[in-house]
Every structure is written in structure tokens, then in C-alpha cells.
Amino acid sequence: MDSRMVFVLLWMLLLSTSTGIKLDGNGYVDVVIAISSKVPQDNRLIDKIKKMATEGSLYLYHALDEKVYFREATILVPPQWNGTNFTKARTESFGKAKIRIDNANPSYGFEPYTKQYGECGAEGEYIHFTPEYLLNDTFIELYGSRGRIFVHEWAHLRWGVFDECNGEKPFYHSNGRIEATRCSKNIKVEFYEVTAGGSLQQCSIDPQTLLPTEGCKIFLNRNEITNRSIMFLPGLDAVTTFCHENDHNYEAPNMQNKKCGKATWTVIFEDSVDKDALRSLKPLQSPPPPPSFKVVQRKQRVVCLILDVSKSMEGSRILQQQQAATHFLRHIIEDQARVGIASFSTFASTLSPLTTIDSDTTRENLIKLLPKVAGGWTKMCLGLSQGLQILREDNGDALGDEIVFLTDGQTDNIAGCVQSAVQSGAIIHTLAFSDSAAPELTEMAIKTGK
């Protein structure tokens, strides 16, 4: 792998690092719902998001034995939206948000979906909703309430379960009978074709597969008395929970069986990131309060690179640092962001104050300032202090701004400044060129990043 690809991967990993959603007691916190900068301003979206999460919280509470709910959520609006009631974003960004409002993906249209790359029980990448889905109430008739659909997608995202339906294989054979792909099998369904005039007729059978042809549709009674399953049909009024082992349909040719081979309830309680908490939590004594919301906005990205030029960085490490910083300045940092550069060893100094990235010339001028020589002690806390001083140039504080340490991390004095880093409100990333980096570096990044 060439050095350029290495640094692409390093920066992608570094700048996407996130502590993410947490289950604090019975309540989920640090739930970030971010609106893409491609979405035009429509403040109704904020209200629709709040309503969806509030409905979803109560539905989630009932779905998992009254154990969990959404306690806190943050809505991140785009930089170009106008408003006086948006507070300044701290660590939130669209790229790190697990729930995203963005324009339609051509592969899915307006339908909500969750990006899942992992295996059974692994957390997904993010949930995608479109503005149209949230604003147009006709989608409620098509899919069911938004709160229910939110919980369906949440189960994909958080617990790594999969759909129990299958649009490509809606039917299968079981004991000589044609069955619909579903869970549970207790849901009574009928199959019909819809004629051009809108009437129903018996389905045609494909002579090759001996299954209904493509025009055959599954019909069920919306008043069906069954409470399972959320991963099959959350829009059905009676559905309030997930399939358990005793009613899981193991024969159905769906992704849940292909990936997991077990009931969704079993995966959630035995394989998911929340498995230990869910098994030990006691049910709440009463229904939970609605989630609390804050609406935040990041106007302009402000970053300070803090470069270690101490003696331990001599040789290949200072070259690696220069290559990584060059790649960041030339290819990673976006236009109109503001970037400063500091260096540290025995002393700390400012190589560049905050500079707006407004041209390729600006990028190259910053690259020319990158150090090529190393020597002296590793006074990392001095570097941090210098970086924070640079970040405070624009508005007097560092809240929501970013620091990127490029260092080998071999220092014995950083523990004394972890707390000041946290209190600054800055988001701190660390890119260490050594396996023996001080653990406080990781602690600092974890405590300041979401």
C-alpha cells in the first residue's frame, strides 16, 4: 500500500472517531440527528424530528419489556440555516452522526434505510431519512407512524438485526404449502393479484418455481391480533415487539435468517452491544418522560494542527508527520475552514495563526510552514496550550473547534493537562506515530470527542 493511501485511511479513521450513542441507565443519550448541508432550510423538519423521536421513545419502551427509551437527543442543523435559537455545536458533525437527514439515495428513493456492513449483532453505520419522508404525511399511510419506523431502523443500527421480510423472495414452500416470508408465522396473510380495474383475483403460479408470480401481493388485516414483529411489519397497529425464539420463523428466506439464524429478540439480548445492560436492567416503574432535545449548529470548521518536533520525532517520524499534515492540508480540510498550526518540543510556537482555506495557494503556503527538523524535550502540555491560544483568536473560545495532535506520544507530562483539554470544549484528535504513545492521549480524545 503506498504512503498516500495509508494517510487517507489514517485521516478517515482519525476524523470519524466517535464515542457515539450510549445507554446511560435506562436511557439512550448522545443520540445525534444531523441534517445535511444539502437540505434547504425548513424549520418544520426540527419539529418532525422531535415528534418522531418522542413517539419512537415510547414505542421502544414497550418493545423491550419497558427497559429502555430515548432520554436525550441533539439535532444538528446545517451551517447555512438562519436562526437565533441554535446553540453552538461542540463535538457534533454530520459525518459522525448515526442518524442523518439527507437527500434521497437513488437506490432507496424516499424509503428510510440503515447502512449495515457488519455481521449479526454488529452496530450499523447510520440511519438515513429524507426530508420528504419526514415532511409528507402520506408516507405514514404507506409505512406506518414515523416513531415505529424509527425503532425498526434503530434495531438495525444499534443491535445489528435484519429484516424479516424479503421483497425479492416474498414467498417460499413449507410442507407443501406456499407461505409468505414473514415473522411470526402466526400472522395470517392472503395472496392476490390486483387487476387494472383495482379488483382482486387469485395469484398466477410460476410453472418453474411453483410460487406466485411477480404480480402477486401479500394482504393482511391491519387489525390482526399479533404483537410481532417489528422487523417484519412495524406499521401494523398490533405489532409492539420483536420475534422471540418460540415464534421465530426459521424457514423464511429473509436476511435475519441468512445473517443470524435466530430470533431478533435473541440477537438483541445475547449478541448486541447492549446485551449485558439489557439483561441486567430492571423495567421502569412508569412510562418514561419525553426525550430532551437541543438544536445545535456549526458555522465554520476551525482546526489547529499541533506538531511534535521533539528529539524522539527525528528520522522517519518527522517525515511521516510532514506527509500526513501535507495530505490533510492539501486534500482533507474543506474550503472555507480555518486552520492554524503550532509546534512544540522544549518550547511551543505558532507556525501559522488561523487562516481561511480559500485557494490552493493558501493550502500550499501552509504546507511550506511544516517543520522538517526535530530536537528537544516533549512538552506536550505546552503544545496544547499554544493550540488552544490559536483557536481562541477568532471568537475568544475553543468550544466546538478541533485540535489534531501529530506526535509519537512519548511524553510523561500530558496527564497534567487532560482536564484543561476537556474544559476547553475543543474536540481533540490524536494521530500517533508510535506504538508506545502515552495512554492519556487516547483518554483526551475519548473525553472530548463524540
pLDDT (0 to 100) of residue 133: 98
Residue 71 has pLDDT above 90, yes or no: yes
pLDDT of residue 5: 47
- Residue linked to cell 517520524: 317
The whole-number average pLDDT for the span 297-317 is: 91
CB count in 10 Å sphere of residue 306: 27
Percent of the chain predicted with pLDDT > 70: 92
Distance CA 319, CA 333 (A): 20
Examine the residue annotation and report whether 193 is marked as an active-site residue of this protein. Answer: no
The yes-or-no verdict on residue 58 having pLDDT over 60 is yes
The residues near 253 (Cβ < 8 Å, ≥ 6 apart) are: 166, 169, 172, 181
Residue 156 vs residues 15, 208, 266, 292: alpha-carbon distances, Å: 24, 34, 14, 23
Say what the pTM is: 0.78
**Cα end-to-end span (Å), the chain:** 30
Q: What is the pLDDT of residue 1?
A: 41
Confidence of residue 17 (pLDDT cuts 50, 70, 90): very low
302-308 sheet: strands from edge to edge = 348-356, 338-344, 302-308, 402-407, 427-432
pLDDT higher than threshold 70 for residue 64:
yes
Q: Which residues pair with 190 in a beta bridge?
A: 219
Contact at 8 Å (CB) between 72 and 29? yes
The residue with greater pLDDT, 382 or 418, is 382
pLDDT of residue 9: 47
Whether 439 shows a pLDDT value over 50: the answer reads yes
Mean pLDDT of all residues in 345-364: 96
Closest CA to 15 of 425, 445, 447: 445
Candidate list 55, 66, 153, 402, residue with the active-site label: 153
Cβ contact 112:136 at 8 Å = no
